[in-house]
């Protein structure tokens, strides 16, 4: 049977694969563990699903473990998450919240087994696990937008971050005043996953039919968890402005993640805002809707990611890979991916977004040209092999220091 990695040869080339194998050989015997807070839904799970098997294929012992938590725990961590990103209103961190956050992590630390040579902890939810650190190396991989964290909450989290051996951020502007090394590693997509692999136009049509979305009308799509930082209500405003100028339809595709308790509240707000407009399609998808999202992205004319804060925005990468011009909020990791006027547009308001989407709807050949530029950028910078290489470099550096 072909190795997992060899399947990527036609995309990244033989030499790149050999380089990865060579790098991995030098790390033989090292054990690696990733810990996060959900096995499905959201960008972190999406990345680990592809990355972990590839580490193993390279002969590195790599495990992925998921912490468990109470409803209250995930409510607390979502509120910390929102405060750090500065969205969803100001929240107060009480002593009881801090205690529950710590208690759940201590329980998980006992249950999980955290003795790998290198432990990579993803995001805020499992951050306090570091209390269980021994002589092994611990890395905190932060996926969220840390451009302007709320001070009080960041100071609280910092007390844990400081115990790590290193951090990884997605974007240079997220760096903080820390006394430990800060690596900058951009996330990636897996071009061979069901989410991103090629699909026939027939399959795309079939899946549009399944969702009762008519093809042949200008279609604007946003794929995102229903979350205030993704600004789904702002996307509806964009659509309403467009609708006064031309015929079009809007698809908002989202779903929940186990570690995100806010989804149903935001979904309810979005449903209310839709009113009885039949041209707004709101899809609440199960977390395994990989082919469905792939097809929705391929069948859309323009893709929007109108985030107000964004750690990276894999949905932007996925859209660019499918040769779609993307209109994205001028924030966080989206700025790494959209080159304004080349592969899409960066926007800072509803009005600006509507103007850019209208331009792309009305200039399909320009949109197509931008889409091609987008795919080229993703091929060069945001595919999984590059991500794997960055991790191997980091593991090599951190275990030899």
Strand order, beta sheet including 326-329: 280-284, 249-254, 219-223, 302-305, 326-329, 344-347
Stretch binding ligand UDP (CB under 6 A), from 94-102, 231-239, 248-256, 272-280: 248-256
Q: What's the half-sphere exposure (Cβ side, CA atoms, 13 Å) at 127?
A: 24
Residues 268-287 interacting with ligand UDP (rule: CB under 6 A): 285
Binding to ligand UDP (CB under 6 A) within 301-320 occurs at 312-315, 318
Distance CA 215, CA 342 (A): 27
Inter-residue contact 373 to 337 (CB < 8 Å): no
Which of 69, 228, 232, 255 binds ligand UDP (CB under 6 A)? It is 255
Q: What is the smallest separation between the CB atom of 115 and ligand UDP, expressed in angstroms?
A: 28
128 binds ligand UDP (CB under 6 A): no
Among residues 34, 65, 81, 225, the one that binds ligand UDP under rule CB under 6 A: 225
Q: How far apart are the first and last CA of the chain?
A: 37
**Which residues in 195-224 contact ligand UDP (CB under 6 A)?**
195, 223-224
Element (H, E) at 281: strand 280-284
Q: How many CB atoms sit inside 10 A of residue 98's CB?
A: 15
Quick note: the x/- pattern for ligand UDP over 69-98, rule CB under 6 A, is ------------------------------
Alpha helices in 263-383 (DSSP H): 263-274, 290-299, 314-321, 334-337, 350-362, 364-381
Closer CB to ligand UDP, residue 105 or residue 224? 224
Question: Using an 8 Å Cβ cutoff, are 225 and 254 in contact?
Answer: yes
Residue among 167 and 294 whose Cβ is closer to ligand UDP? 294
User: Residue 235 and residue 354: Cα distance in Å, rounded?
Assistant: 9
- The strand order across the sheet containing 182-184 reads 61-66, 31-36, 118-122, 137-141, 166-169, 182-184
Q: Site for ligand UDP (CB under 6 A): which residue of 293, 331, 354, 385?
A: 293
Site string for ligand UDP, 33-62 (x = CB under 6 A): ---------xx--x----------------
CB-nearer residue toward ligand UDP: 58 or 261: 261
The residue ranges that bind ligand UDP (CB under 6 A) are 42-43, 46, 195, 223-225, 253-255, 285, 289, 293, 312-315, 318
């Amino acid at each position: 049977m072909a190795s997992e990695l060899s399947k990527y040869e036609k995309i990244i080339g033989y030499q790149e694969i050999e380089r990865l194998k060579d790098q991995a050989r030098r790390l033989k015997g090292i054990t690696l563990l990733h810990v996060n807070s959900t096995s499905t839904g959201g960008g972190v799970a999406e990345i680990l699903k592809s990355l972990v098997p590839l580490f193993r294929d390279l002969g590195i012992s790599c495990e992925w473990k998921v912490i468990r938590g109470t409803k209250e725990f995930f409510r607390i961590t979502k509120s910390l998450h929102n405060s750090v990103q500065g969205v969803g209103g100001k929240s107060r961190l009480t002593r009881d919240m801090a205690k529950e956050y710590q208690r759940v992590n201590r329980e998980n630390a006992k249950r999980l087994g955290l003795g790998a040579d290198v432990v990579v902890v993803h995001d805020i939810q499992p951050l306090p696990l570091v209390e269980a650190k021994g002589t092994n190396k611990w890395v905190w991989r932060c996926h969220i937008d840390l451009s302007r964290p709320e001070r009080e909450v960041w100071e609280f989290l910092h007390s844990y971050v400081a115990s790590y051996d290193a951090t990884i951020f997605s974007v240079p502007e997220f760096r903080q005043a820390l006394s430990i090394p800060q690596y900058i590693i951009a996330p990636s997509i897996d071009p061979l996953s069901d989410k991103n692999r090629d699909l026939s136009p027939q399959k795309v049509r079939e899946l549009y039919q399944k969702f009762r979305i008519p093809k042949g009308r200008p279609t604007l799509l946003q794929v995102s968890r229903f979350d205030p930082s993704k600004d789904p209500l702002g996307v509806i405003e964009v659509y309403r402005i467009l609708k006064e100028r031309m015929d079009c339809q809007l698809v908002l595709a989202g779903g929940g993640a186990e570690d995100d308790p806010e989804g149903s509240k935001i979904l309810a707000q979005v449903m209310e805002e839709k009113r009885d407009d039949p041209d707004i399609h709101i899809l609440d998808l199960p977390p395994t809707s990989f082919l469905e999202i792939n097809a929705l992205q391929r069948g859309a004319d323009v893709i929007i990611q109108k985030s107000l804060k964004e750690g990276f925005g894999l949905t932007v990468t996925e859209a660019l890979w499918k040769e779609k011009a993307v209109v994205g909020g001028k924030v966080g990791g989206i700025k790494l991916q959209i080159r304004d006027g080349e592969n899409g547009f960066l926007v800072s308001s509803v009005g600006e977004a509507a103007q850019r989407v209208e331009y792309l709807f009305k200039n399909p050949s320009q949109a197509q040209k931008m889409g091609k530029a987008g795919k080229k950028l993703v091929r060069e910078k945001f595919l999984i092999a590059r991500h794997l290489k960055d991790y191997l470099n980091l593991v090599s550096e951190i275990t030899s220091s």
